[in-house]
Structure 1
Amino acid sequence: MCTLKLGRYLSFIFICFAIIHSTALGSSYSIQPTLGCIISDHTWVQYSTYFFYPVLSGFLPIVIASTFSILAYHNVRRIVRRQLPIVRRKLDKQITAMVLMRVIAFVCLVLPYNAYRTYATNFPTSRSVPMAYAVGRLLQAILLSINNINFVINFYIFILFSSRFRRQAKLVLVKRCWERWKYWCCQINNQIEPENSIAPCNSQIESEENM
């Protein structure tokens, strides 16, 4: 059932759904003089309140990620009982730990912003109250920044919780990239010009002296 062809079809379907959904939801926004850019259509407000932010952006990804992390944890416990090499067991444990920590970070980083967006959609703050509006915008910017950390934190989580990943990262960054860059720089600095390139320079100097 789980084949590469099926994965491509599902990826294409999800991409098309995301494009159509984002276009339709974006068309429901309008600029209000006192509230700024908000969802003006009551139907889309209800949709964002009860489905988009709580379910599609919040609850559903968390449930899917948590389910697969729990399945991975049970799979590792079942592998431990089998007669498998110790190296294989250690690798499975490290991968499971990485997945679990990634799910925990995902929940902690995504949930606050989705909760705030659900609240802000139902109770927008008017610009006629400058202090409350400024506090709301500041809170939204902070929570959005925390939410965006979710997309760049993978490398650091894996570095912290996987010794094998640390060794592989060290191998790639230090022993391959750094050594190649150092060799390339040293090769440029130690280049020797051929003798035939010196002769034109000498003839040019002699001609300048004769002039």
Structure 2
Amino acid sequence: MSSSIATTILFVSKEFALYGYFIILISGVIGNIGNILVFTCYKIFRRNQCAFYLIAETITDCCLLLVALPFRISELAFALDLTRTSLIWCKLKAMISYTSTLITFSAICFAAIDQYLSTNYHPWLRQLSTVKLAHRLVYSSIIIWIVYGSMFLIFFEIQPTAGCTIYNVDFARYFSFFHYIMLTGMIPISVSSIFSLLAYLNVRRIVQMRMIVVRRKLDKQLTAMVLTKVVFLVCTILPSIIFRIYILNVTVDPNDTVRIAIHQLVSNIAYALFYINPAVVYFLFV
């Protein structure tokens, strides 16, 4: 009885992941291309630092979706997993995926901080929000995270039992507790949430500031966009963090097939939510 229940749950999990990832991939690529066109074609966004952060995030999101999801879909649909057969792709996929995620989250944090600065009542803080600084921060973060991501080229390996993953115990512990939970979880969520809320509070009293009407409207629009993005980020990232913490603190009996199947289903739902985050930015902004 339990085996049939487990089989059913695994089937549902696989079908959900297959069709869910496919929809996320198609809508995400189309949406991100739409975002890039909007931010680059409209003159009002071209020389705006917050828009530059959003462009950087959008491009990175598109790369993340194109690297991560097509191969995951091929694995689910055709049982074809290149990361199990090609060591080079195993290492490269890990590096590109994790580096892209960190660049994306950095750009979101930069955008939230920038909106806090650009809408601030104090002129000296507003002066810190510049396109030049935006370029430096984005390019620096790209270099830093690429160097950081080179660690994955070293520690990701292929073994017949578990496939492409981290087998070094110390690095696996670091990856689970710091990289996954902190770097791609609590830190970007905390920073982006705090500064986007502060920017929102600034916008509420922006009428009192002596600013050009067009600039004032643009700041309101960009602050609303960033706040919406951050709220969605929190809602889509938190489930995977919570599930990761749960998995790290729970021991599952290998013979408990139903529980293993449930974990697989919850894992697919959590990771689908994770990839929804870079996929629906355009639809949030429309």
**What TM-score do the two structures reach when normalised by structure 2?**
0.46
Return the match for 2:272 from 133, 141, 145. Answer: 145
> How big is the alpha-carbon RMSD for the aligned residues of Structure 1 and Structure 2?
3.0
Distance 2:195 2:166 in 1: 34
Task: Confirm or deny: 8 A CA contact 2:155 2:168 kept in the other structure.
Answer: no
Structure 1 unaligned spans of 5+: 160-211
Q: Which structure's CA Rg is the greater one?
A: 1
What percentage of residue pairs aligned between the two structures are identical?
Answer: 34
| Aligned residue number for residue 237 of structure 2 | 110
Return the match for 1:134 from 261, 270, 286. Answer: 261
Change (3 A) 1:126 1:143: same
Task: Confirm or deny: 8 A CA contact 1:72 1:96 kept in the other structure.
Answer: yes
What do residues 139-163 of structure 1 show as CA deviations (whole Å, max 9, x unaligned)? 101111111100111111111xxxx
How do 1:25-64 residues align onto structure 2 when only pairs under 5 Å count?
25-27=155-157, 32=161, 41-64=168-191
Change (3 A) 1:77 1:25: farther
**Does 1:17 find its partner at 2:144?**
no
Task: Confirm or deny: 8 A CA contact 1:53 1:115 kept in the other structure.
Answer: no
**Does 1:80 find its partner at 2:210?**
no
Letter in 1 for 2:143: F
Letter in 2 for 1:21: M
Counting matched residue pairs gives 155
What do residues 129-184 of structure 1 show as CA deviations (whole Å, max 9, x unaligned)? 2111111111101111111100111111111xxxxxxxxxxxxxxxxxxxxxxxxx
**What TM-score do the two structures reach when normalised by structure 1?**
0.60
| Aligned residue number for residue 123 of structure 2 | none
Instruction: Report deviation, 1:120.
Output: 1.8
Distance 2:194 2:250 in 1: 33
**Does 1:121 find its partner at 2:251?**
no
Distance 1:23 1:124 in 2: 29
Task: Confirm or deny: 8 A CA contact 2:185 2:238 kept in the other structure.
Answer: yes
Change (3 A) 1:24 1:117: farther
Distance 1:55 1:76 in 2: 29
Letter in 1 for 2:267: Q
Instruction: Report deviation, 1:39.
Output: 5.7
Task: Confirm or deny: 8 A CA contact 2:185 2:241 kept in the other structure.
Answer: yes
Letter in 2 for 1:14: W
Letter in 2 for 1:84: M
1 or 2 for the larger relative contact order (CA 8 Å, sep ≥6)? 2
Task: Confirm or deny: 8 A CA contact 1:98 1:158 kept in the other structure.
Answer: yes
Distance 2:281 2:155 in 1: 29
Change (3 A) 1:87 1:7: closer
Task: Confirm or deny: 8 A CA contact 1:39 1:121 kept in the other structure.
Answer: no
Change (3 A) 1:8 1:40: closer
Letter in 2 for 1:9: S
Instruction: Report deviation, 1:48.
Output: 3.7
Instruction: Report deviation, 1:72.
Output: 2.6
